[in-house]
Structure 1
Amino acid sequence: MKSKSFKYLWIGQSFADIGDVLYIVALISLLYSSTGSPFYLAFLPFAITFARFISGIFAPILINRLNLKSLLVSSQVIKTVLLLLLSLYVYMQIEAMSPFIVITFAFTISFFDGWANPARDAMLPRLVSSKELVRANSFLASVDQIIQLGGWAFGGILVAAISGSYVIWLTLLLYFVSTLMMFGIIDETQHEISKDKEKAFWYVLKEGWAIIWRNPSLRNIHVMLFIESIAHVVWIAAILYVFVYEVLQESEKWWGYINVSFFVGLFIGGVVGMKFSTMIEKHMTKTIIMTSFVVSVMPFLFGVNSNAWMALIISAMFGLFEQIKGISLQTGIQQSTSADMLPKVYAAQSALTAITFGLSTLFFGYISEHYNIRVVFILAGILLVMSAIYALKNKNSLEMKKVA
């Protein structure tokens, strides 16, 4: 992991991720100040998720024509230009902002951001050795969680201190630095553009999905990811807030504490993944199965619990084992897929998880509004048990076999 290109990748992506958090916090503040409407605050994350879904569908077309570095750089350059335009709009229209225009900017930025994560994840095996893959995935996961853990809190403090419009300008600076870092990446893998005219538009769009379906390891991993994307909706802010208020009967500060404990668990899981990377790689399938069963118990425990302190512990434990499982699944995908097909697999995965999570948010929101909030966590536990049983039943085909 001493590769300069790997350092440019994680530092550049980290600056971009910090910027993503900060400008969204700023937009939430600006939208609420401008409209006073909770609807726009709820619609903003939906628009962002939907944009990433659309981006994930069409990403294979770009992957087929551009190398991964070009994709990363162009994504970040376009995001930077769009954020500059948004900054200028907010500066000129601070007293009369149109929520539609602001959300449209957020949608468009998220659309181009949808190229970045598949490209980053697919580039990783090219920049580190196969022996360092688990360690590198663990490191990136830890960095991601540090950003998520501190980004929202830091963003809130910044918005309160200097206002949302200035935070957007700060994000613009972070995006600019990120772009410079992306230019420093050297990817020596040759990018071959297919000259086969029979590979029509729709063929390219479905290529990643076809690879997932043909490879038993990839297919089983993505069945698990599909089920888990539905179950993980229970940890969104809206549902947790209701649980804290109705079941734990605590103030909203405990909602924040539970979120922090979850991210602390994720961070510790990333550290554990780095520390025991060799063992995890050696026993990849066993690790996936074991952590799947442990994770499946957590929503049940959380849902039936009424003690706030115990909720913190359960949330942290969920984050820890979920992170180790996620690192194992991530490494499994990278080891099961050839370098040229990996970006298309990640693009399909991004689209799958985005639309699944988005639709499941509406479903669980309906359940939580019309039934006891504990039911939501019980349903999530049942789904995760199904995922764990599926992994156990298909443990032989979870063994990683690289495909062309």
Structure 2
Amino acid sequence: MKSKSFRFLWVGQSMANLGDIFYIVGLISILYTLTESSFILALVPFFNMFGRFISGMISPLLLNRYPLKTLLVYSQISKTLLLLFLALILEINIISSVLVIICFVFTIAFLDGWAAPASQSMLPRLVSKNEIVKANTFFSIINQTVNLGGWALGGILVAFIGGQKVILLTLVLSSIATFMMTKIIDPTEFHKKNSKGHRSGELKEGWQIIWSNPMYKSLFLLMVLDTIADVVWIASIIYIFVAEVLGETEAYWGYINTSFFIGMVVGGIICSRFARVFEKNLKYALISFSFVICILTFIFGLTKIAWLSLFFVGFIGIFQQLKEIASNTILQKSASTEELPKIYAVQSSLGSLLFAVSSLLFGFLSEIWGVQIIFIISALLLGLSAIYAMVRHHRFSI
């Protein structure tokens, strides 16, 4: 993985991801100061997901007309300009309307909606085929490290310098990300696809690619089940679990998140160490780790011992990382350079919508049935996903 372009991609994406975390933390701080409303704060992740969903739905129109690098660069430039505008009006205290801030959240998420699949699809183009597992592993380790430290560091920065200054720092990180992405050289030649019919046909293209290929369809259905099941890890549900089941203070919510992300990093390191063995057994890894995550989630939901919960969630993080790397590698090795961005766009779009809707549904059900039942439902969905992967295992041969 000595490719300079790969280096520019992961550094640029890391700066962009860290900036996104700081920007959300900063905005939540500003909104809380303005409103002191938990409902208003909940609008931030909702409109963030909704913006990504809308963008993902129309992204095939862009993917057919512009190279991936162009989409990455212009998305990041646009985000940087929006952050500059937001930082300026915050500094001179123009904003007093929650609606204006929510509009920024939606627009920036909309730009991310086509940047995310473009970035994921760019990775296999910048490394050789026999390095895809290593590249995915490295990318995942960096991403989880950013997540692990970003939220904690963002909270500390908000406490010391305030939300407005954190937005300024986000602007700096976004500018660095933009510069890095302009340095990427995509070796894959782009062929512009002109629509011969209605644009509605282009919007369906990603769905048609997935549904016409048994492997893509199976991976897509696994993604749907896993996305719904993973909603149990949102802050509101974990917060209730910590308070009502574990009987601990809110600090333990942070410990659980930290344990999960540490597990993700450890999973990436394990995959990197045994990359060749892992690459030869991708479909078996996908199936076996699906069952392991199902069992661990079920046990986690039933445990009432605080230190054991950290143990179980750490292992969930390890196997979740390994499963995601296996799934991504199978897809990247199977799909063509033209198909991959459109597949990722559909996954990102529907995944965002499912996560947003499921968050509301699981929150409602946790109030009616209790939070432990929600983890059992999650484990059942993960079990269904694992059984489906086992039954369709022949489709994952590459």
TM-score interval (norm. to shorter): over 0.9
Quick check: 1:75 aligned with 2:93? no
Partners of 1:57 and 1:280 lie apart in 2 by 34
CA offsets, 1:338-362, max 9 Å, x none?
0111111110110121111111111
Per the alignment, do residues 306 and 60 of structure 1 end up closer, same or farther by CA in structure 2, a change over 3 Å counting?
same
Partners of 1:341 and 1:394 lie apart in 2 by 22
Which amino acid counterpart does residue 156 of structure 2 have in structure 1?
A: I
Aligned residues: 398
Q: How does 1:146-161 map to 2 (within 5 A)?
A: 146-161=145-160
Identity of aligned residues (%): 48
Which amino acid counterpart does residue 169 of structure 1 have in structure 2?
A: L
- Report the CA distance between 1:194 and its aligned residue: 2.1
Partner of 1:305: 303
Partner of 1:127: 126
Partner of 2:245: 247
Partners of 1:137 and 1:306 lie apart in 2 by 35
Partner of 1:358: 356
Per the alignment, do residues 47 and 196 of structure 1 end up closer, same or farther by CA in structure 2, a change over 3 Å counting?
closer
Partners of 1:218 and 1:162 lie apart in 2 by 47
Partners of 2:238 and 2:28 lie apart in 1 by 19
Q: How does 1:221-260 map to 2 (within 5 A)?
A: 221-260=219-258
Could you say what secondary structure the match of 1:339 adopts?
coil
Partners of 2:350 and 2:218 lie apart in 1 by 14
Quick check: 1:164 aligned with 2:163? yes
Partners of 1:393 and 1:375 lie apart in 2 by 27
381-390 or 363-372, which deviates more: 363-372
Q: How does 1:243-322 map to 2 (within 5 A)?
A: 243-322=241-320
Per the alignment, do residues 196 and 38 of structure 1 end up closer, same or farther by CA in structure 2, a change over 3 Å counting?
closer
Partner of 2:48: 48
Partners of 1:9 and 1:312 lie apart in 2 by 33
Partners of 2:195 and 2:173 lie apart in 1 by 40
Contact 1:5 1:127 in 2 (8 A): yes
Could you say what secondary structure the match of 1:396 adopts?
helix
Partners of 1:61 and 1:104 lie apart in 2 by 23
- Report the CA distance between 1:305 and its aligned residue: 0.2
Partners of 2:154 and 2:345 lie apart in 1 by 29
Quick check: 1:114 aligned with 2:89? no
5+ residue gaps, structure 2, are: none
CA offsets, 1:89-147, max 9 Å, x none?
211226x6211101110110111011111001111111000000001001000111001
Which amino acid counterpart does residue 342 of structure 1 have in structure 2?
A: L
**TM-score of the superposed pair, with normalisation by structure 1:** 0.97
Partners of 1:270 and 1:356 lie apart in 2 by 26
Partner of 2:180: 181
Partner of 2:331: 333
5+ residue gaps, structure 1, are: none
Deviant stretches of 4+, over 4 Å = none
Which amino acid counterpart does residue 144 of structure 1 have in structure 2?
A: N
- Report the CA distance between 1:336 and its aligned residue: 1.5
Contact 2:29 2:163 in 1 (8 A): yes
Partners of 1:255 and 1:62 lie apart in 2 by 40
Partners of 1:82 and 1:392 lie apart in 2 by 46
Could you say what secondary structure the match of 1:397 adopts?
helix
**TM-score of the superposed pair, with normalisation by structure 2:** 0.99
CA offsets, 1:333-391, max 9 Å, x none?
11111011111111011012111111111110111111121100000000000000000
Partners of 1:222 and 1:195 lie apart in 2 by 27
Partner of 1:97: 96
- Coordinate RMSD, CA, aligned: 0.9
Partners of 2:44 and 2:5 lie apart in 1 by 34
Partners of 1:93 and 1:39 lie apart in 2 by 23
Partners of 1:236 and 1:195 lie apart in 2 by 41
Contact 1:293 1:385 in 2 (8 A): yes
CA offsets, 1:261-314, max 9 Å, x none?
001011111111211111111011111011000011122101110000000011
CA offsets, 1:171-223, max 9 Å, x none?
1011111100000000121110124523x311111111111111111110110
Residue 396 of structure 2 is aligned with which of 375, 395, 398? Answer: 398
Partners of 1:98 and 1:277 lie apart in 2 by 51
Quick check: 1:369 aligned with 2:367? yes
Partners of 2:357 and 2:330 lie apart in 1 by 27
Partner of 1:342: 340
Partners of 2:220 and 2:194 lie apart in 1 by 30
Partners of 2:201 and 2:24 lie apart in 1 by 35
- Report the CA distance between 1:88 and its aligned residue: 1.2
Partners of 2:25 and 2:335 lie apart in 1 by 36
Partners of 1:210 and 1:271 lie apart in 2 by 36
Which amino acid counterpart does residue 119 of structure 2 have in structure 1?
A: R
Partners of 1:74 and 1:196 lie apart in 2 by 22
Partners of 1:154 and 1:82 lie apart in 2 by 23
Contact 1:216 1:398 in 2 (8 A): no
Partners of 1:215 and 1:277 lie apart in 2 by 27
- Report the CA distance between 1:227 and its aligned residue: 0.4
